[in-house]
Amino acid sequence: MKMVVLAFCLLGAIACAAWLYTPDGTRGALEAKYAGPPSSFVDVLGVRLHVRDTGPPAAQAVILLHGFGSSLQTWDDWARGLEGDHRVVRFDLPGFGLTGPDPSGDYSDARSQAVLLVLMDRLGIARATLVGNSMGGRIAWELAASHPDRVGKLVLVSPDGFASPGLAYGVAPQAGPIMRLLPYVMPTFLLRATLAPAYANRAAMTDALVARYRDMMLAPGVRRAILARMKQTVLQPPEPMLRQIACPTLLLWGERDAMIPVSNAKRYLALLPHARLVTLPGIGHLPQEEAPAITLPAVRQFLAE
């Protein structure tokens, strides 16, 4: 009897695994759906970057850097609101979206900065305003510290950079059991549960938005690249680098951010001499998606100064 029960349990486990197994999508189909005009693909340091470059080419350049697990589409509404009078460049960072895996296997922040600098050179952009959300915010302020001649202004949207519970300095984060299953399974209900904490207003997390995130996660090789980036993300105390930043900086932070607390803003303000903070009541970690009409005016005003 025990053998029969074990056999049924094993069959059940196999059936469940087969039901949950989610293979990568087809690149051609994903590019047909998400990489129409004005998208282009630019080879940078061996990486095939998915890029959108819109607005007047001679206008002030604004480069938008998305967060962990996201893609350039996170900026759709802000881009539409800026490209009338700014040159707006956004791209899928290596390991994400339709850019996909970096053949070098290097997902360090230094590598991301090098890719960004070469992309700027390719596009003829000597100096730009960098706008970064979460992980993209960290990459933006790191570049402003290491290459101040290339960054005119910074807009940091709930930026990453300080240690937090479960993420200490000098130690790579540990991938939990669910993350280790990421390359093999991607049920929509689990993705929705993972995304939910990023939105204070859950109505903003529409079915279409969840479907887009899922499609980007299923781009060939992306899930494995995400795990690789996680293992290579080793935070260092940010104070020395932040003290080097002299450019004007706007901090935008949702007061209901459940991913990176708004209390971190005080730490940035104490280290950035030319920074100011705009807090966003009732908004979470992704202001550009959750409330673009409410949040973009502060950015436009800052760019115009």
CATH code at position 119: 3.40.50.1820
Residue 195 lies in a domain: yes
Q: Hey, what are 164's tokens?
A: 């937090």
> For residue 9, is it within any domain?
no
- Say which residues have a Cβ less than 8 Å from residue 295's Cβ, sequence separation at least 6: 78, 252, 280, 283, 287, 288
pLDDT digits (tens), the chain, 305 positions: 433 333 333 333 333 344 478 999 999 999 999 999 999 999 999 999 999 999 999 999 999 999 999 999 999 999 999 999 999 999 999 999 999 999 999 999 999 999 999 999 999 999 999 999 999 999 999 999 999 999 999 999 999 999 987 788 998 887 777 778 888 999 999 999 999 999 999 999 999 999 999 999 999 999 999 999 999 999 999 999 999 999 999 999 999 999 999 999 999 999 999 999 999 999 999 999 999 999 999 999 999 99
Q: Tell me which residue of 108, 80, 82, 90 sits closest to 49, measured CA to CA.
A: 90
What is the β-pairing status of strands 128-133 and 61-65? parallel
Domain coverage including residue 209: 26-304
Q: Is residue 184 part of a domain?
A: yes
Give the burial class of 91: count Cβ atoms within 10 A of its Cβ; 0-12 exposed, 13-18 middle, 19 or more buried.
buried
**What pLDDT sits at residue 6?**
35
- Angle at alpha carbon of residue 74, lines to 270 and 279, rounded to 5°: 30
Q: From residue 7, how far is each of 12, 19, 21, 278 by CA, in Å?
A: 8, 18, 21, 60
Residue 282 lies in a domain: yes
Q: What is the pTM of this model?
A: 0.93
- Residue 254 near residue 291 (C-beta atoms within 8 A): no
Number of domains in the chain: 1
The answer to whether residue 206 is domain-embedded is yes
φ, ψ for residue 69, nearest 5 deg: 80, 5
Asked if the structure places residue 16 within a domain, the reply is no
Query: Residue 97, by phi and psi: left (phi above 0), alpha (psi -120 to 50) or beta?
Result: left
Query: Does 6 fall in a domain?
Result: no
Q: Is residue 19 part of a domain?
A: no
| Burial degree of 7 (CB within 10 A; 0-12, 13-18, 19+) | exposed
Q: With the C-alpha atoms ordered 226, 231, 237, 240, is the resulting torsion angle positive or negative?
A: negative
pLDDT at 24: 96
**Which pLDDT belongs to residue 21?**
85
pLDDT attached to residue 47? 98
Nearest-angstrom CA–CA distance, 129 and 291 = 21
Would you state the pLDDT for residue 179?
76
Tokens in use for 28?
């051609």
